[in-house]
Structure 1
Protein backbone atom coordinates (compact mmCIF):
# COMPACT_ATOMS: atom_id res chain seq x y z
CA UNK A 1 0.00 0.00 0.00
CA UNK A 2 3.01 2.29 0.05
CA UNK A 3 2.27 3.51 -3.47
CA UNK A 4 -0.91 5.17 -2.16
CA UNK A 5 1.14 7.62 -0.15
CA UNK A 6 1.53 9.54 -3.42
CA UNK A 7 -2.04 10.75 -3.07
CA UNK A 8 -2.40 12.59 0.26
CA UNK A 9 -5.28 14.79 -0.97
CA UNK A 10 -7.36 11.84 -2.21
CA UNK A 11 -7.94 13.20 -5.68
CA UNK A 12 -10.00 10.61 -7.59
CA UNK A 13 -8.52 11.88 -10.84
CA UNK A 14 -5.00 10.95 -9.70
CA UNK A 15 -4.09 7.47 -10.99
CA UNK A 16 -2.82 6.12 -7.64
CA UNK A 17 -5.52 7.57 -5.43
CA UNK A 18 -7.12 4.95 -3.16
CA UNK A 19 -10.46 6.74 -3.47
CA UNK A 20 -10.66 5.13 -6.91
CA UNK A 21 -10.95 1.78 -5.17
CA UNK A 22 -13.97 3.08 -3.30
CA UNK A 23 -15.55 4.29 -6.54
CA UNK A 24 -14.82 0.92 -8.12
CA UNK A 25 -16.56 -0.81 -5.22
CA UNK A 26 -19.57 1.51 -5.40
CA UNK A 27 -19.89 0.99 -9.17
CA UNK A 28 -21.06 -2.58 -8.56
CA UNK A 29 -24.83 -3.06 -8.87
CA UNK A 30 -24.99 -5.54 -5.98
CA UNK A 31 -23.18 -3.08 -3.70
CA UNK A 32 -25.66 -0.34 -4.57
CA UNK A 33 -28.64 -2.66 -4.11
CA UNK A 34 -27.32 -3.88 -0.74
CA UNK A 35 -26.73 -0.36 0.53
CA UNK A 36 -30.18 0.67 -0.64
CA UNK A 37 -31.80 -2.39 0.98
CA UNK A 38 -29.97 -1.91 4.27
CA UNK A 39 -30.57 1.83 4.40
CA UNK A 40 -33.96 1.26 6.05
CA UNK A 41 -31.99 0.87 9.26
CA UNK A 42 -33.00 -2.58 10.47
CA UNK A 43 -30.74 -5.61 10.68
CA UNK A 44 -31.41 -8.13 7.93
CA UNK A 45 -30.56 -11.82 7.73
CA UNK A 46 -28.51 -13.17 4.85
CA UNK A 47 -31.33 -15.24 3.35
CA UNK A 48 -33.72 -12.30 3.49
CA UNK A 49 -31.19 -10.17 1.62
CA UNK A 50 -30.86 -12.92 -0.97
CA UNK A 51 -34.64 -13.08 -1.43
CA UNK A 52 -34.93 -9.28 -1.64
CA UNK A 53 -32.18 -9.05 -4.26
CA UNK A 54 -33.54 -11.36 -6.93
CA UNK A 55 -30.82 -12.75 -9.17
CA UNK A 56 -27.85 -12.52 -6.81
CA UNK A 57 -26.09 -15.80 -6.10
CA UNK A 58 -25.23 -16.87 -2.58
CA UNK A 59 -21.53 -16.63 -3.42
CA UNK A 60 -21.73 -13.10 -4.88
CA UNK A 61 -23.87 -11.87 -1.98
CA UNK A 62 -21.44 -13.31 0.55
CA UNK A 63 -18.41 -11.80 -1.22
CA UNK A 64 -20.12 -8.43 -1.55
CA UNK A 65 -21.07 -8.34 2.13
CA UNK A 66 -17.49 -9.25 3.14
CA UNK A 67 -16.05 -6.47 0.97
CA UNK A 68 -18.49 -3.92 2.41
CA UNK A 69 -17.70 -5.10 5.92
CA UNK A 70 -13.96 -4.73 5.21
CA UNK A 71 -14.56 -1.19 3.92
CA UNK A 72 -16.44 -0.33 7.12
CA UNK A 73 -19.81 0.16 5.39
CA UNK A 74 -21.61 -2.94 6.69
CA UNK A 75 -21.50 -4.64 10.07
CA UNK A 76 -22.14 -8.32 10.66
CA UNK A 77 -23.77 -9.47 13.88
CA UNK A 78 -23.62 -13.17 14.82
CA UNK A 79 -26.02 -14.45 17.47
CA UNK A 80 -25.11 -17.63 19.42
CA UNK A 81 -28.02 -19.77 18.28
CA UNK A 82 -28.05 -23.21 16.67
CA UNK A 83 -27.51 -22.74 13.80
CA UNK A 84 -25.94 -19.29 14.28
CA UNK A 85 -28.11 -16.36 13.26
CA UNK A 86 -26.26 -13.75 11.23
CA UNK A 87 -27.64 -10.30 10.52
CA UNK A 88 -26.28 -7.37 8.55
CA UNK A 89 -26.76 -3.63 8.88
CA UNK A 90 -25.13 -0.48 7.60
CA UNK A 91 -22.54 1.09 9.84
CA UNK A 92 -22.72 4.78 10.60
CA UNK A 93 -20.36 5.35 7.68
CA UNK A 94 -22.45 3.14 5.38
CA UNK A 95 -25.61 4.99 6.37
CA UNK A 96 -24.11 8.19 4.97
CA UNK A 97 -24.40 6.58 1.52
CA UNK A 98 -28.01 5.46 1.96
CA UNK A 99 -29.74 8.61 0.70
CA UNK A 100 -27.35 9.02 -2.22
CA UNK A 101 -27.86 5.44 -3.37
CA UNK A 102 -31.62 5.71 -2.92
CA UNK A 103 -31.70 8.84 -5.10
CA UNK A 104 -29.56 7.11 -7.72
CA UNK A 105 -31.93 4.12 -7.80
CA UNK A 106 -34.95 6.43 -8.05
CA UNK A 107 -33.25 8.34 -10.88
CA UNK A 108 -32.61 5.08 -12.77
CA UNK A 109 -36.21 3.93 -12.33
CA UNK A 110 -37.82 7.24 -13.28
CA UNK A 111 -35.57 7.76 -16.33
CA UNK A 112 -35.84 4.26 -17.80
CA UNK A 113 -38.37 5.29 -20.49
CA UNK A 114 -36.00 7.99 -21.77
CA UNK A 115 -32.99 5.67 -21.59
CA UNK A 116 -34.82 2.87 -23.43
CA UNK A 117 -35.92 5.32 -26.12
CA UNK A 118 -32.37 6.65 -26.50
CA UNK A 119 -31.05 3.10 -26.86
CA UNK A 120 -33.69 2.29 -29.45
CA UNK A 121 -32.87 5.40 -31.49
CA UNK A 122 -29.15 4.73 -31.23
CA UNK A 123 -29.58 1.12 -32.36
CA UNK A 124 -31.78 2.16 -35.30
CA UNK A 125 -29.24 4.71 -36.53
CA UNK A 126 -26.24 2.48 -36.07
CA UNK A 127 -22.97 3.57 -34.61
Structure 2
Protein backbone atom coordinates (compact mmCIF):
# COMPACT_ATOMS: atom_id res chain seq x y z
CA UNK A 1 0.00 0.00 0.00
CA UNK A 2 1.33 3.45 -0.88
CA UNK A 3 1.91 6.06 1.81
CA UNK A 4 -0.81 8.26 0.29
CA UNK A 5 -3.26 5.34 0.54
CA UNK A 6 -2.25 4.70 4.15
CA UNK A 7 -2.69 8.41 4.91
CA UNK A 8 -6.17 8.51 3.32
CA UNK A 9 -7.22 5.38 5.24
CA UNK A 10 -5.88 6.83 8.53
CA UNK A 11 -7.75 10.09 7.86
CA UNK A 12 -10.99 8.14 7.31
CA UNK A 13 -10.52 6.50 10.72
CA UNK A 14 -10.03 9.92 12.32
CA UNK A 15 -13.10 11.34 10.60
CA UNK A 16 -15.30 8.33 11.41
CA UNK A 17 -14.17 7.37 14.93
CA UNK A 18 -11.62 9.94 16.15
CA UNK A 19 -8.86 7.29 16.30
CA UNK A 20 -5.60 9.21 15.65
CA UNK A 21 -3.14 6.36 16.35
CA UNK A 22 -2.95 4.91 12.81
CA UNK A 23 -2.16 8.44 11.55
CA UNK A 24 0.40 9.18 14.29
CA UNK A 25 2.30 5.98 13.38
CA UNK A 26 2.90 7.35 9.85
CA UNK A 27 4.99 10.28 11.15
CA UNK A 28 8.76 10.31 11.72
CA UNK A 29 10.11 11.34 15.16
CA UNK A 30 11.21 14.73 13.80
CA UNK A 31 8.23 15.32 11.48
CA UNK A 32 6.71 18.78 11.08
CA UNK A 33 2.96 19.43 10.63
CA UNK A 34 1.36 22.76 9.75
CA UNK A 35 -1.57 24.49 8.09
CA UNK A 36 -2.89 28.08 7.84
CA UNK A 37 -5.10 27.67 10.93
CA UNK A 38 -2.30 26.98 13.44
CA UNK A 39 0.21 29.56 14.61
CA UNK A 40 3.30 27.33 14.62
CA UNK A 41 4.19 23.84 13.39
CA UNK A 42 3.75 20.74 15.52
CA UNK A 43 6.40 18.02 15.62
CA UNK A 44 6.74 14.24 15.70
CA UNK A 45 4.11 11.59 16.42
CA UNK A 46 2.90 13.47 19.53
CA UNK A 47 2.48 16.61 17.44
CA UNK A 48 0.60 14.51 14.88
CA UNK A 49 -1.74 13.21 17.60
CA UNK A 50 -2.45 16.78 18.76
CA UNK A 51 -2.83 18.07 15.19
CA UNK A 52 -5.31 15.36 14.16
CA UNK A 53 -7.27 15.46 17.44
CA UNK A 54 -7.68 19.23 16.95
CA UNK A 55 -8.74 18.63 13.34
CA UNK A 56 -11.42 16.15 14.38
CA UNK A 57 -12.69 18.27 17.28
CA UNK A 58 -13.12 21.28 14.96
CA UNK A 59 -16.11 19.52 13.36
CA UNK A 60 -19.35 17.85 14.35
CA UNK A 61 -19.12 15.58 11.31
CA UNK A 62 -16.51 15.62 8.54
CA UNK A 63 -15.78 13.61 5.42
CA UNK A 64 -12.94 14.26 2.98
CA UNK A 65 -12.97 13.28 -0.67
CA UNK A 66 -9.81 13.17 -2.75
CA UNK A 67 -9.94 14.36 -6.38
CA UNK A 68 -6.29 14.02 -7.26
CA UNK A 69 -3.51 12.03 -5.64
CA UNK A 70 -0.01 12.35 -7.09
CA UNK A 71 2.92 10.40 -5.66
CA UNK A 72 6.65 10.04 -6.11
CA UNK A 73 9.17 8.11 -4.05
CA UNK A 74 9.69 11.16 -1.81
CA UNK A 75 6.39 13.04 -1.68
CA UNK A 76 2.64 12.90 -2.19
CA UNK A 77 0.19 15.65 -3.15
CA UNK A 78 -3.46 15.25 -2.23
CA UNK A 79 -6.17 17.54 -3.59
CA UNK A 80 -9.30 17.30 -1.46
CA UNK A 81 -12.70 18.66 -0.51
CA UNK A 82 -13.98 18.28 3.04
CA UNK A 83 -17.65 18.63 3.94
CA UNK A 84 -19.69 18.23 7.08
CA UNK A 85 -20.97 20.18 10.03
CA UNK A 86 -19.31 22.42 12.57
CA UNK A 87 -19.93 21.77 16.29
CA UNK A 88 -22.69 24.42 16.07
CA UNK A 89 -24.45 22.28 13.45
CA UNK A 90 -23.72 24.72 10.61
CA UNK A 91 -22.74 23.02 7.35
CA UNK A 92 -19.35 23.66 5.76
CA UNK A 93 -17.42 22.76 2.64
CA UNK A 94 -13.82 23.69 1.93
CA UNK A 95 -11.08 22.49 -0.35
CA UNK A 96 -7.33 22.45 -0.38
CA UNK A 97 -4.13 20.58 -1.08
CA UNK A 98 -1.93 18.64 1.32
CA UNK A 99 1.77 18.16 0.65
CA UNK A 100 3.30 15.13 2.33
CA UNK A 101 7.08 14.68 2.23
CA UNK A 102 8.19 11.11 3.01
CA UNK A 103 11.78 10.66 1.76
CA UNK A 104 12.57 7.78 4.14
CA UNK A 105 9.15 6.10 4.13
CA UNK A 106 7.73 7.91 7.17
CA UNK A 107 6.14 11.36 6.90
CA UNK A 108 8.82 14.00 7.51
CA UNK A 109 6.66 17.04 6.67
CA UNK A 110 2.92 17.55 6.28
CA UNK A 111 1.52 20.90 5.18
CA UNK A 112 -2.08 21.60 4.21
CA UNK A 113 -3.01 24.63 2.10
CA UNK A 114 -6.56 26.01 2.30
CA UNK A 115 -8.43 29.24 2.99
CA UNK A 116 -9.30 29.18 6.71
CA UNK A 117 -11.95 31.84 6.12
CA UNK A 118 -14.07 29.08 4.52
CA UNK A 119 -14.40 27.66 8.04
CA UNK A 120 -14.97 31.03 9.70
CA UNK A 121 -11.37 31.14 10.95
CA UNK A 122 -9.16 34.23 10.75
CA UNK A 123 -6.43 34.34 8.13
CA UNK A 124 -3.15 34.45 10.07
CA UNK A 125 -0.38 36.78 8.99
CA UNK A 126 3.32 36.14 9.41
CA UNK A 127 4.88 38.22 12.17
With the length of structure 1 as denominator, give the TM-score of the two structures: 0.28
Structure with the larger helix share? 1
Report the structure number with the largest CA radius of gyration. Answer: 1
Structure with a larger share of its residues in strand: 2
- The alignment's TM-score, normalised by the length of structure 2, stands at 0.28
Name which structure has the greater RCO, CA cutoff 8 Å, separation 6+: 2
